[in-house]
């Protein structure tokens, strides 16, 4: 039977690591740390990967291991005058892929650590799927939102198509519409 290949909570098969990567904003970090504590209480060793410039206070989480990835972020040189709501997400996805791949490969190769059961990432970190696939690590997506967010995501294309949004930064239209 293939049971040995699966994670079974509450069994002696735990003793594996789970790697988590959350967006560095409060509404994403808090639920991710709550999930981390729940998994830790089930016997998993937790490793939190975070962008270098957005490090959580590690003293508040003594049971977890932290690894930073280079993000190249410098607020004076990279922050636009009027950033869009998606600026940070886009920036991190574009600038962290290589350092995240290197970090994950390092974590997988650590000889005195338990095996990695899976990678749990914030839904907005779309860069992580290709990295997880290339390193053959199962990835779970953690999406923290409320019902209002779900409805907004569902209806955004309608409002763009109707022309209710004209979101530009320095003359560049941020969203495509079927009318463009």
Catalytic residues: 28, 122
* Strand-pair partners of 116: 17
Helix H or strand E encompassing 4 = none
The neighbour count for residue 122, using CB atoms within 10 Å, is 23
| Residue-wise burial string across 35-53, b where 16 or more C-beta atoms lie within 10 A, e elsewhere | bbeebeeeebbbbbbbbee
Phi, psi at 108, each rounded to 5° = -70, -25
Q: At what angle do helices 87-95 and 97-109 cross, to 10 degrees?
A: 60
Burial classification of residue 178, based on how many CB atoms lie within 10 Å of its CB (0-12 exposed, 13-18 middle, 19 or more buried): exposed
CA distance readout (Å), 137 to 74, 90, 101, 112, 116: 31, 23, 11, 18, 8
């Amino acid at each position: 039977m293939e049971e040995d290949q699966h994670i079974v909570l509450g069994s002696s098969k735990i003793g594996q690591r789970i790697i988590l990567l959350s967006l560095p904003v409060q509404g994403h970090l808090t639920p991710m740390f709550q999930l981390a504590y729940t998994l830790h209480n089930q016997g998993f060793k937790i490793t939190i990967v975070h962008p270098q410039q957005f490090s959580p206070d590690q003293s508040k989480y003594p049971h977890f291991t932290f690894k930073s990835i280079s993000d190249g972020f410098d607020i004076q040189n990279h922050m636009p005058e009027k950033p869009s709501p998606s600026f940070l997400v886009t920036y991190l996805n574009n600038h962290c892929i290589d350092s995240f791949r290197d970090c994950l490969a390092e974590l997988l190769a650590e000889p005195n650590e338990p095996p990695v059961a899976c990678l749990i990432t914030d839904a907005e970190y779309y860069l992580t799927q290709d990295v997880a696939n290339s390193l053959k690590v199962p990835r779970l997506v953690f999406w923290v939102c409320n019902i209002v967010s779900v409805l907004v995501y569902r209806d955004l294309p309608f409002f763009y198509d109707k022309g209710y949004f004209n979101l530009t930064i320095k003359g560049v239209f941020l969203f495509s519409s079927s009318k463009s």
